A and B are shown apart, each in its own frame.
Chain A
Amino acid sequence: EAGVAQSPRYKIIEKRQSVAFWCNPISGHATLYWYQQILGQGPKLLIQFQNNGVVDDSQLPKDRFSAERLKGVDSTLKIQPAKLEDSAVYLCASSNGQGTFYEQYFGPGTRLTVT
């Protein structure tokens, strides 16, 4: 089975510019997650979707970050405007359900550098 796909793999932008990341989860996975991993840190959950509804976005900086999951499949994460501290790897993950018994499968990530 194909894994979680993400694009682009790398992105370099200047501060105050906008950027968007795309994620295609494993087919049939209802739950989708976006994580931010700053260099030297563990991943931090930004937002969790169940189908196309938001389950948890408590750690999403909503003044500059937005995410959507249309039709309950693909998802995009947008940053507008970007700040230097947004430099990180953005990981997308999906699972076959929500809760403790459903393993999360991670994509390769998008490495964002803000200059």
Chain B
Amino acid sequence: KQEVTQIPAALSVPEGENLVLNCSFTDSAIYNLQWFRQDPGKGLTSLLLIQSSQREQTSGRLNASLDKSSGRSTLYIAASQPGDSATYLCAVEGGSEKLVFGKGTKLTVNP
């Protein structure tokens, strides 16, 4: 059974700092990995999707990497802003074609 773990559970940083969020998964037989953002009272917004054959994806200040063999992914956020404050969720899709989510990392960026 696939399990996804995200560390840390919460993170507070000053504005402008670069930061890394971590995600690990137990079964390396995945099709893809996605990073989502969730704002309070709102649904999930997909940030980046990495196919199993890819090593990384970039979108603006966000960069996600995938090391399938070690079961790890990182989300790098450059020059953080208060508007980046949200919960970030990692999810993997495996043979069941079902997304399995981690519990998320709650990020607070202080002005």
Contact = CB atoms under 8 A, between A and B. Distances in A.
Given A41-B103, A44-B101, A100 B91 contact: no
A56 interface: yes
Contacts, number: 48
A44 B103 CA distance: 10
Interface of A: 4, 40-45, 48, 56, 91, 93, 98-100, 103-109, 111
Interface of B: 4, 31-32, 41-46, 49, 51, 89, 91, 93, 96-104
A40 B103 contact: yes
Chain A interface mostly helix, strand, loop or mixed?
loop
Contacts of B45: 106
Q: Which 9 A-B pairs have the closest CB atoms?
A: A42-B101, A106-B43, A100-B31, A106-B44, A108-B43, A107-B43, A43-B101, A42-B103, A42-B102
Contact of A42 (B49, B51, B89): B89
Given A42-B91, A104-B46, A106-B44, A98 B97 contact: yes
6 contacts: A48-B98, A93-B44, A100-B32, A103-B49, A108-B43, A109-B42
A104 B99 contact: yes
